[in-house]
Amino acid sequence: MVPESIREFFAASAGVAGTLIGLLFVAISVAAGRLDRTKTSGRLNRISAAAALTGFTNALSVSMFALVPGHKIGPAALAVGVAGLGFVAAALISLYRLGEMRRALVRDVLLLAGLGAVFVWQVITGAQVLLQPDNPGAVNTIAILVIVCFLIGVGRSWELIGAPSFGITREVTALVRDKNQAPDERPGGTEGDRLGGA
């Protein structure tokens, strides 16, 4: 049973998920050239698009079933979690089959593994709700997993459209690399150029 105190969250979540799915379709149509099946980057972008859609669809399905009277959130979370695990397995098999597991960025594989972990947790929590329908803690956990699916979906959508990304690891690595280069090898010219020609 979904507590009344959290029903508003699921109502808002269903609306947000529907909107994000629509925006993802727009992003896919805009970035259609980035989804070329013949290129490695295109295949990786197709998996990113599918991962975003899977995360948003998971959030939409769970949120909508949470609003149906009765004990619907447990079975919905369980079923959609199993379907999500199927997607993650298919994506990893696809990367392996195409010989791109090594070429795929570690980040891509880790994000798929993270999405898989979310779905495993959701399946377990959905089973807990089925066994203990009056357990509000399990329903709250499902709500948190819905938020995590939104975050993963937004991140994958951001990558899909080729938007700039800044990460602390990347920036610190670039900073250290720049410090270790000779002044005339750094981006921006020689040391005299950067000091205003002094």
* pLDDT tens, residue by residue, 4-62: 778 899 999 999 999 999 888 887 787 766 666 656 566 777 788 888 889 999 999 99
Mean pLDDT estimate for the chain: 80
112, 91 contact by CB (below 8 A): yes
Domain that holds residue 190: 167-198
Do both 90 and 186 map to the same domain? no
Do both 47 and 87 map to the same domain? yes
78, 130 contact by CB (below 8 A): yes
Do both 52 and 142 map to the same domain? yes
**Closest listed residue to residue 124, CA positions, set 74, 86, 84, 58:** 74
Do both 171 and 191 map to the same domain? yes
Do both 36 and 47 map to the same domain? yes
Do both 27 and 112 map to the same domain? yes
Do both 172 and 120 map to the same domain? no
User: Can you give the pTM of this predicted structure?
Assistant: 0.74
Do both 41 and 10 map to the same domain? yes
What type of residue is 157? S
Do both 83 and 148 map to the same domain? yes
